Amino acid sequence: MEHLAQIILLLAVAVAVVVAFQRLHIPTSLGYLLVGVILGPHTVGPTVHVAEFKALAEFGVVFLLFTIGLNFSLPQLHVLRHQVLGLGTGQVVFTTVAVGVITWQAGLSVAAAFVIGAVFAQSSTTIIGSQLAEQGEENSQHGRLGLAMSVFQDVTAVPFLVVIPVLGVAVGASALAGALGWAMVKAVFAFALVFFAGRWLLRPLFHLVTERRSPEVFTLAVLLVALLSAWTTSSFGLSLAFGAFLAGMMLGETEFRHQVESSIRPFRDVLLGIFFIGIGMRFDPASIPPIWHWALLGALLIVISKTLIVAAMMRRIGIDALVAWRSGLLLAVGGEFGLALIAIALDSGVIDMALGQVAITSVLLSMIIGAVLIRFNHAIAAWLTKIWRNAPKRVPEEIEGAAEQQVVVGGYGRVGHTIAVLLQTSEIPFVVFEADAKRVAQGRADGFPVLYGDIADPELLATIHVERAALVVITIDHAVMALRMVKFLRKHCPQVPVIARARDLQASAHLLEAGATHAYPEAIEASLRLGETALQILRVSPAEIEQVVQDVRDMDYKPVLEKKTHK
């Protein structure tokens, strides 16, 4: 009970700051950073010091990587293998080399320059993942590419964790190569262990758990799997987060993925907040005046170098300029693993305390700048795209002009599949876009023209010439993305009729106000269908049934239509 007062103070300040940041539409991750600065040891006022705080904060990263792994199962990574592996490796290598050369020319030793390059190459999967989820962009093309590359960075941090301590002592190249090789062997072994255990044990385990129909037992099983996998990789000298990510990948291939994510979300969100508070507590405002110019230059070097390198690599392989810039802006943020590498370098004597303080401040500043860039990534990328306006785009032939006089269907879920069956039966040409690789494979196996793509991405809609479509049908079960797509279509191609799926009457009203031609609320339509069947069984005449149903439908939709008419 000795820490109860401090915990209450921490929660009170966190609630006040986060609520204020949400009302101002400022990223909540910055709010948690501010809480850490306020309650940290380097500022005037009360200080929160709980011995277990650092361990709790680390679990925030563990659960975030676990949920990210749920969305990056092996089939999905297989689809992105050429982009993610090549781009991920290139980004880390090019950033490390570029920043290392710049800092070496500025006067640092080779070892110190290498450390700074490795630190600056890291991006915060925590900030990227939480910001994208908050903005509803986690399933967009740039969001998936950015997250996949940032997760790959976490894997590449493993060799750096081995190399940097070795740089602090005089050893030969053979010892360095041996240490690196051993680290990679452990990483491969950990992956194989989690992979085969997941394939053989996870699905039977969760089948057994779900038979109990107990949410508590299900949540306990999720926590057990996530933490056991994290402990496994940690026991091999690797990161906890790496093991959690592998476990998430395995569960992402099962039918329990969505329920697992729902169960783990409360733990993840709370612990992530604690993680950011812990970072804020490291920030010492008093140390900034003597080094502010170097720290600011370092932060700008992090942001600018990674944005340019990522965007250039993506453009090189033919990715659209807007997506390339948006992905570059996501990865511009500094990373938590960068802070960990600085701590290791300080302990190993590779860099001194003065350089370490500059590097820490630079990474923290880049986190703040990067969070803002992620928040406004579309507007900034749209402006930067003008620079490459005349650059040629390589568009797959299958996608180019895909909307030409066809029906464009957004999403191949339950509703999208039904629409596809009806259109194909009626011999009406159509194309379906789906951001889930599994659903794409399923749609193609069903014999439908299903292509991989984020239907809410304006760049994709422009690429397929959606303005030439005969009709757009939005079936995705994501209110924010559907609303964004309707607004884009009404602004850029108002002549194209848009039919949208809505979860309820309120969502239908928002879509109609945004410009949808029709927006059908599932809950009401299902009820009407049920009532229609009931009346048929009760031998009510078909004409009377049709009239009654239509009257009810008109009564429900009348307020919405009137509101739309009077706008």
Q: What is the DSSP string of 40-87?
A: STTSSS-----TTHHHHHHHHHHHHHHHHHHTS-HHHHHHTHHHHHHH
Confidence at residue 147, expressed as pLDDT on a 0 to 100 scale: 78
Same domain, 435 and 292: no
Same domain, 378 and 488: no
Same domain, 427 and 380: no
Residue 439 lies in a domain: yes
Same domain, 415 and 369: no
Same domain, 284 and 176: yes
361, 388, 415 - which closes a domain: 388
Residue 399 lies in a domain: no
Confidence at residue 507, expressed as pLDDT on a 0 to 100 scale: 78
When pLDDT is cut at 50, 70 and 90, the band that residue 78 belongs to is low
pLDDT tens track for 155-189: 666 567 667 766 765 455 556 566 656 766 777 78
CATH number at 556 reads 3.40.50.720
Tally the domains of the chain.
Answer: 2
Same domain, 299 and 444: no
Residue 348 lies in a domain: yes
Q: Give the contacts of 373 (CB within 8 A, at least 6 positions apart).
A: 303, 307, 329, 330, 332, 333, 380
Three-class secondary structure of residue 392 per DSSP: coil
Same domain, 468 and 519: yes
pLDDT tens track for 3-45: 788 888 888 999 999 899 888 877 677 788 889 889 888 888 7
Range of the domain at 512: 407-566
Same domain, 350 and 307: yes
pTM recorded for the entire structure: 0.56
Phi, psi of 209, deg, nearest 5: -65, -45
When pLDDT is cut at 50, 70 and 90, the band that residue 562 belongs to is very low
Same domain, 309 and 457: no
Same domain, 225 and 371: yes
Residue 475 lies in a domain: yes
Confidence at residue 104, expressed as pLDDT on a 0 to 100 scale: 92
H/E stretch holding 373 = helix 353-375
- The whole-number average pLDDT for the span 100-106 is 92
CB 55 within 8 A of CB 278: no
H/E stretch holding 127 = helix 125-135
Same domain, 373 and 510: no
CA atoms within a 13 Å half-sphere pointing along the CA-CB vector of 492: 15
Res. 130: pLDDT tops 80: no
Residue 393 lies in a domain: no
- The torsion angle over the Cα atoms of residues 32, 34, 36 and 37, rounded to 10 degrees, is 170
Residue 551 lies in a domain: yes
pLDDT tens track for 476-496: 877 778 888 888 888 888 888
When pLDDT is cut at 50, 70 and 90, the band that residue 309 belongs to is very high
**Which residue, among 20, 26, 49, has the nearest Cα to 277 in the 3D structure?**
49
Residue 398 lies in a domain: no
327, 360, 388 - which closes a domain: 388
358, 388, 418 - which closes a domain: 388
pLDDT tens track for 249-270: 788 777 677 678 778 877 777 8
Between CA 141 and CA 482 the distance in angstroms is 16
When pLDDT is cut at 50, 70 and 90, the band that residue 396 belongs to is very low
Average pLDDT of the chain is 78
E strands within 394-526? Answer: 407-410, 430-434, 450-452, 471-474, 498-502, 518-521
More confident residue, 52 or 98: 98
Same domain, 478 and 537: yes
Measured CA to CA in angstroms, residue 412 lies from 305, 374, 409, 415, 416 at distances of 38, 28, 8, 7, 4
Residue 395 lies in a domain: no
Res. 150: pLDDT tops 50: yes
When pLDDT is cut at 50, 70 and 90, the band that residue 392 belongs to is very low
CATH number at 255 reads 1.20.1530.20
Q: Quick one: tokens of 398?
A: 């299958």
Q: Give the contacts of 105 (CB within 8 A, at least 6 positions apart).
A: none
Confidence at residue 76, expressed as pLDDT on a 0 to 100 scale: 61
